[in-house]
C-alpha cells in the first residue's frame, strides 16, 4: 500500500484521501484543504523579528514568526498551531497575504480577506480567520513596541 507523509507521520494513501474527502464534504474549500495538507508556511524562522502566541476563545493556539526588514516590509512568516484544520489554513493564508506588505498594509488585512483567500470554510469555522488576524495584529503591536512605536 502506498504511503506518504501526512500530519507529521506516515499514513496510507487511502486514509489520507478519506480525510481529504471528509474536509471537502464539511465545507472546506480546495484551497483551504491544500494549505492545510501541504502545511504551507508552517514551521519556524531563523532569527525572526517577532514571535507571538495567541490563544483564541475556541481554545486553538497560533504561534506566529515574522521576518520584517528595516523598511517595515514583512519578508517572511511561519506559524505553528494547536487546533483544527481551519486554524491552520487561516494562519497559512494570512501569511501568504502579508508577505511583501508593509506593516501598515498588513494592519489593513481583515478576516474577510483571509476567508476570501481560502475560498471558503465551513460556517462553524468562521472564527478561524479571526484567530489568524488577531494573532497578526498582536505580533505587529509587539514588533512596534519593541521598535518604540505604539500606534496600531
CATH architecture, domain 40-146: Alpha-Beta Complex (3.90)
Query: Which residues neighbour 151 within 8 Å (Cβ) at sequence distance 6 or greater?
Result: 144
Query: Is 69 in contact with 106 (CB distance < 8 Å)?
Result: no
Q: Taking the domains of the chain in order of start, what are their residue ranges?
A: 40-146
**Strand, helix or coil for residue 13:** helix
pLDDT (tens, 9 = 90+) of the chain, 152 residues, equals: 333 344 444 556 775 788 888 998 999 999 999 999 899 999 999 999 999 999 999 999 999 999 999 999 999 999 999 999 999 999 999 999 999 999 999 999 999 999 999 999 999 999 999 999 999 999 999 999 998 865 44
Amino acid at each position: 500500500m502506498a504511503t506518504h507523509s501526512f500530519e507529521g507521520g506516515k499514513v496510507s494513501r487511502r486514509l489520507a484521501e478519506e480525510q481529504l474527502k471528509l474536509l471537502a464534504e464539511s465545507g472546506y474549500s480546495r484551497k483551504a484543504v491544500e494549505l492545510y495538507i501541504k502545511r504551507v508556511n508552517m514551521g519556524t524562522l531563523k532569527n525572526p523579528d517577532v514571535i507571538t502566541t495567541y490563544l483564541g476563545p475556541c481554545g486553538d493556539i497560533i504561534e506566529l514568526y515574522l521576518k520584517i526588514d528595516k523598511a517595515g516590509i514583512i519578508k517572511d512568516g511561519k506559524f505553528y498551531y494547536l487546533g483544527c484544520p481551519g486554524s491552520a489554513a487561516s494562519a497559512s493564508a494570512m501569511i501568504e497575504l502579508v508577505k511583501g506588505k508593509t506593516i501598515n498594509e498588513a494592519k489593513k488585512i481583515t478576516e474577510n480577506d483571509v476567508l476570501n483567500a481560502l475560498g471558503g470554510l465551513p460556517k462553524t469555522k468562521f472564527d478561524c480567520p479571526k484567530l489568524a488576524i488577531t494573532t497578526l495584529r498582536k505580533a505587529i503591536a509587539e514588533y512596534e513596541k519593541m521598535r518604540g512605536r505604539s500606534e496600531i
